[in-house]
Amino acid sequence: MDNGESSYRRFLDGDENAFGELLDMYSENLIFFINRYVGNVAIAQELSEDVFVELLIHKRRFNFKTSLKTYIFTIAHNKAVDYLRRCSKKPECAYEYIECESDRKNLEDEFLKKERERELHRAINTLNDDYKTVLHLIYFEDMSYAQAGKVMKKNRKQIENLVYRAKQALKKEIEKEAKLP
């Protein structure tokens, strides 16, 4: 599987429809990923659009040395972190959009259809940001440790340790939720 690289090559060669294939392939996953950072579906949608605008404007930045998926999620990670940085300096930024709980629910329902998956999702959201991010990249986006390391700017050993610790923390959280009446 080429993770959309052939579509991107066709886009670079002038096939405008190929970019639509990339949008179809990655837009929902990017929104879900970015939403884990910003906690607002509307902002996550806007930031995911910014990721695709980045691909359009800087067509030749991607050098095909890593996977396109890794490249796109790295841009998304950077956009989310930049947004959070701007909001920390400008508190009214967080109130720019009002998120509807139904939007979040619809997004979660698309990805988490079974009750067990919902429990897992809630447990993951209680973890710290690095744990949430590494679990999302490895298990939801099927990235390798090396690809996740590039997105998170960590080496393979750090990713291995993060995955191990995240799984341990997730296990404790699930066990804690199971004990609740």
User: Which pTM value belongs to this model?
Assistant: 0.62
Pick the CATH number of 1-103 from 1.10.10.10, 1.20.120.80, 1.10.1740.10, 3.30.365.10: 1.10.1740.10
Q: What's the pLDDT at 11? A: 84
- State pLDDT tens for residues 92-141: 554 444 455 555 555 555 544 556 666 777 788 888 989 989 988 888 88
Distance CA 74, CA 92 (A): 26
Distance CA 47, CA 160 (A): 28
Domain boundaries, the chain: 1-103, 112-181
> H/E element holding 148?
helix 145-152
Report the CATH fold assignment for 112-181.
Arc Repressor Mutant, subunit A (1.10.10)
Residue 33 makes CB contacts below 8 A (sequence gap 6+) with: 73, 76, 77, 136, 137, 140, 141
Task: Using CB atoms within 10 Å of the CB of residue 34, give its burial: 0 to 12 exposed, 13 to 18 middle, 19+ buried.
Answer: buried
